[in-house]
Structure 1
């Protein structure tokens, strides 16, 4: 089967969808599919091109920046037309949210090919960034047309689907498949090769955060929580970059936690793995349903690390993390509850080991990319024959 994935970005770009695609596509190739990826070039203004990334053919379309978190790419419809003509895919696998694939609605060629919509997140009206709500007024018209045409829609959890207003009338098209990743063999994971970002000694409880510095990640809440800690010494490293960087830098200074919280910026995959090896806990303090799943939770659990995450109403995070079994859930936007949870976990080594062990087994049983790719393959096979390309 010839599959064309349409996403925002691809490796080495960082993000939950990007991590998932980087894991999924090679596994789909291993299953005998011919798979290619069409995304935007993360480097602003760089010309469109086709490259071979490991064993994956990746079309990167020129992008001129972002408008309300959406890539702006005037060349996309032209590039898309050429890719469809050259590759002749049997299935278009569309990863939303992303405005560029709406050009498919204008393509007679594309409309003859079955569409699978991977629903990674609603476009959540935000109390923090009101531009999102305004933009969605126009966005949702095209979103509805795309969903009308889709053969199937893949939400990533039952919990998210239940709370999703845009998917309410499309429940019969939905096939729930969680996200997944490649689990490394024990001998592939370094046990002592700890990242240099952990410069402090073992007397500090090492908390790692991974994700874009953007409005829904809740890093302000984490900083507030750290500023209230008195009984435990922590070393918090936040890996990622984004539009909130300067604001967070000021927040760290004004909260008097410069000795405890560090923004590390972007780092490469190898260094990220070493950072995970060296941490005592991963924290995901997100505050809105835009955090629909939390792939980074799987990355930490796959390394037997305990996790602390916000139990966001209507998000899949509270399903990925089983409270007091594979991790600890806290009320979103509650800095005091987060501080108390950090304190309790940091002083209980047995609990850390138990949560880490259970988390690893949960990832291995529910979230391996081999299992997820197989389930997605079954979704493809369910496309009615009359919709399949001749």
Structure 2
């Protein structure tokens, strides 16, 4: 069965969020599906396609952006050809140009849309884009939300609830980090700290975490890429900013941490894969209630604590509670790893998508 995945960006330009989900699905289904990813790139590889972990990657030159929407004219022809060759097209929303590609091609290939997120910020674009988006969503044969929370809270998804299903994002299991690597990081940052991992974006709520650390004096380690200056000046002494680190380094830091803090305060944080990584490591979590998948991964009172968004006092109190109540962090961490195993495995996610692919292909 040939499956074509379509999204605006992919590795090496971007390997966070949606690209990582696509990679997980394509890699884990490589033995039963011929998977191809069609995407844009700033510098496409000279030799096409690229072979990546058992699937194919086609890159088309990115022409620029308009209202944060990645643009290309040449991808329309590439999409038309690839879609005609596929048994199923798997779209990953949002990307407005993708909607136009599908509608302009008049493709008859069965399609599924994974609805990763609403478009949150682009108010000027929404009135123009809305009719196109709804035409695109209407023509899809299947629609998938990544959590029941997002399906319930998204006004767009509510209009298509009858044909929408939920497939949570899943990630692969990991071996314990090397002991020498853990020892290396322990010598640098110690242990028992509160850890954040993620990109320094506007919706991550890091200023509230830093203020919470200033209030309670507990140690915080911040890991990620982006503008360090956006974190503000005169960081408190109990906050350490490491910048980006490797995947194995992340696992070592998670091992050393007492808990994971994820202060994202806006709906642009549609799921929070970093929370899955913390749950997989058996760490209790602190996150904010923003009506998205973050509160599906981190269940308040079970796997961690959920607080109101943009509220450093509430964040601080949750951190103090986890640090001060004997046995609470260990209890919630044990529940977190169990929830990861039962709800968020990579194989579980991929097998559910395979069922959709098989159903759609059989009905064509």
Give the TM-score normalised by structure 1. 0.85
Q: CA RMSD in A?
A: 2.4
The alignment partner of 2:310 has SS state of: coil
Query: Structure 1's 65 and 210: CA in aligned 2 closer, same or farther, altered over 3 A?
Result: farther
Equivalent positions of 1:277-296 (< 5 A) are: 277-296=255-274
Q: Which residue pairs with 1:276 in the alignment? A: 254
**Equivalent-residue separation in structure 2 for 1:198 and 1:28 (angstroms):** 38
The alignment partner of 1:329 has SS state of: strand
Structure 1: gaps of 5 or more residues:
127-131
Q: Which residue pairs with 1:169 in the alignment? A: 159
**Equivalent-residue separation in structure 1 for 2:67 and 2:195 (angstroms):** 27
**Equivalent-residue separation in structure 1 for 2:63 and 2:326 (angstroms):** 48
Instruction: Tell me how far 1:150 sits from its aligned partner.
Output: 0.3
1:309 to 270, 273, 287: 287
Query: Structure 1's 198 and 95: CA in aligned 2 closer, same or farther, altered over 3 A?
Result: farther
Instruction: Please say if residues 115 and 146 of structure 2, whose CA atoms lie closer than 8 Å, have aligned partners that are also in contact.
Output: yes
**Equivalent-residue separation in structure 1 for 2:254 and 2:338 (angstroms):** 17
Q: Which residue pairs with 1:106 in the alignment? A: 104
Instruction: Tell me how far 1:113 sits from its aligned partner.
Output: 0.5
Instruction: Tell me how far 1:267 sits from its aligned partner.
Output: 3.0
- CA deviation map 1:19-69 (0-9, x unaligned): 222222111123x1111111222xx34467421112221112222454444
**Equivalent-residue separation in structure 1 for 2:228 and 2:82 (angstroms):** 36
Structure 2: gaps of 5 or more residues:
none
Q: Which residue pairs with 2:80 in the alignment? A: 81
Corresponding position: 1:332 with 2:309:
yes
Q: Which residue pairs with 1:366 in the alignment? A: 343
Corresponding position: 1:123 with 2:113:
no
Instruction: Tell me how far 1:119 sits from its aligned partner.
Output: 0.6
Instruction: Please say if residues 223 and 261 of structure 1, whose CA atoms lie closer than 8 Å, have aligned partners that are also in contact.
Output: no
- CA deviation map 1:71-108 (0-9, x unaligned): 233432233234345xx110000001122312121113
Instruction: Tell me how far 1:384 sits from its aligned partner.
Output: 8.0
Instruction: Tell me how far 1:152 sits from its aligned partner.
Output: 0.7
Q: Which residue pairs with 1:183 in the alignment? A: 173
Q: Which moved more, 1:157-166 or 1:268-277?
A: 268-277
Q: Which moved more, 1:294-303 or 1:192-201?
A: 192-201
Q: Which residue pairs with 2:130 in the alignment? A: 140
Give the TM-score normalised by structure 2. 0.90
- CA deviation map 1:87-137 (0-9, x unaligned): x110000001122312121113xx21011000111112x4xxxxx222222
The alignment partner of 1:193 has SS state of: helix
Q: Which residue pairs with 1:96 in the alignment? A: 93
The alignment partner of 1:183 has SS state of: coil
**Equivalent-residue separation in structure 2 for 1:16 and 1:140 (angstroms):** 24
The alignment partner of 2:15 has SS state of: coil
Instruction: Tell me how far 1:197 sits from its aligned partner.
Output: 5.7
Instruction: Tell me how far 1:151 sits from its aligned partner.
Output: 0.4
Instruction: Please say if residues 276 and 340 of structure 2, whose CA atoms lie closer than 8 Å, have aligned partners that are also in contact.
Output: yes
Equivalences, count = 361
Instruction: Please say if residues 26 and 55 of structure 2, whose CA atoms lie closer than 8 Å, have aligned partners that are also in contact.
Output: yes
